[in-house]
Amino acid sequence: MPVLENRPLLLLLLACTAIGGCRSAAETAAPPPPPAVVVATPMVVRMTEWDEYTGRFEPTDRVDVRARVDGYVSSVHFRDGAIVRTGDLLFVIDPRPYEAILEGARADVARAETRVELATTDFIRGEEIFAIKGISQEEFDQRTQAKKEAEAALVVARAAERAAGLNVEFTSVRAPMGGRISENYVSVGNLVSGGQAGSTLLTTIVAIDPIQFVFDASEADYLRYSRLNAKGERRSSRDAANPVRIRLLDESSFTHVGTMDFVDNRLDPTTGTIRGRALVPNKDGFLTPGQFGRLQLLGSGEFDALLVPDSAILSDQSRRFVWTVGNDDVPEQRVIEPGGLERGLRIVRAGLQRGDRVVINGMQRVRPGAKVTPTAGGIEPPAGS
């Protein structure tokens, strides 16, 4: 009976003993190890940097084909959208009215030549007679003046003949340059005006080999290029044909190569950009004016670039940073200035040193000020890059 009476006390003692044992086990349990991360020093590559811009192709030259004379279109001699060469016949304007004018001009020349012959004969005869005092000075002067007037009239007649001949020639409208022609804007039988402002537009021709690629660069890029030029590290595209590489919207690599040939003389104050232009060979005519593309422009001289994986770069509002691990295994947030891609890795322009150990795996486990367990890894270009 005494044992039963003291049962609550016994249970209380047993509970207290169990709680005390649990607390002692918890107090003696080991803390978890620091999180494991993989670290590696940046990959160092000797290279030149390429800057990327979006732009479009434009023809190196463009001409609006217009008639030089009025008349009805009698024939068309090209296929819409074809490649034409300089001097190819494009249109024929009815030449008959101008041929008639040319015949009249030739008759006027013949008439003027006859008058010159007659006036010359009279002058020679009068000169002989005047020498023996057979005619007066006044009559001799009249014969001299008649000869000069006949010669002047011949010059005018011949000029009119040449003008009439040009008009006959202008009835055949030829390609003023080679390139790709547009469609026929005026069909056979239509009356066109020519030789003046507002003349009828017949078609257009654009030169496509070589072809231009036009793009806009920011003011910051322009300043950087100017300072590199001043240091002798990269010549300005105004003075040197710096290389460019271009890819089209459906291409994965920059396969079209060319050179810079123009930088504008001012920045656009509304956009803060400056216009640049490159020339690209286009022998097969594949590149077409109006196409968009991405251009890579030589952006620096040779330098030792530090490369890290894009996945190792994190964002904090407007800043880009990576985690680096020092000798005490405590991670540090390092703000960097990222550049373009090279071999599938991101160029770090500023913020890192060669020997820095960058966290390339396990960034999500890093906490500021908390130690980590670093494991040495390596940075290699991704497969296929």
Q: Is residue 152 part of a domain?
A: yes
Specify whether 274 is located in the same domain as 191. Answer: no
Q: In this structure, are 195 and 213 located in the same domain?
A: no
- Domain span at residue 170? 62-205
126, 178: one domain: yes
Residue 103 is assigned to a structural domain of this protein: yes
Q: Which two tokens stand for residue 190?
A: 């239509």
Specify the range with the lowest mean pLDDT, choosing from 79-88, 102-111, 374-383: 374-383
Calpha distance 236→259 (Å, rounded):
12
Would you say how long the chain is, in residues?
Answer: 385
The pLDDT of residue 277 is above 80: yes
Distance CA 243, CA 270 (A): 29
Q: Give the pLDDT confidence score for residue 317 in this predicted structure.
A: 80
pLDDT digits (tens, 9 = 90+) for 98-122: 999 999 999 999 999 999 999 999 8
pTM: 0.70
- pLDDT bin (cut points 50, 70, 90) of residue 1 is very low
Same domain, 282 and 340: no
Confidence at residue 29, expressed as pLDDT on a 0 to 100 scale:
65
pLDDT digits (tens, 9 = 90+) for 14-25: 554 555 555 554
24 vs 169, residue with greater confidence: 169
The answer as to whether 16 is a domain residue is no
Residue 190 CA, distance from chain mean position: 39
Average pLDDT over residues 193-209: 92
pLDDT tens figures, 121-158: 988 888 888 888 888 888 888 889 999 999 999 999 99
Establish if 381 belongs to a structural domain.
no
Boundary-marking domain end, from 273, 298, 323: 298
User: Average of pLDDT values for 212-217?
Assistant: 97
83 is a domain residue? yes
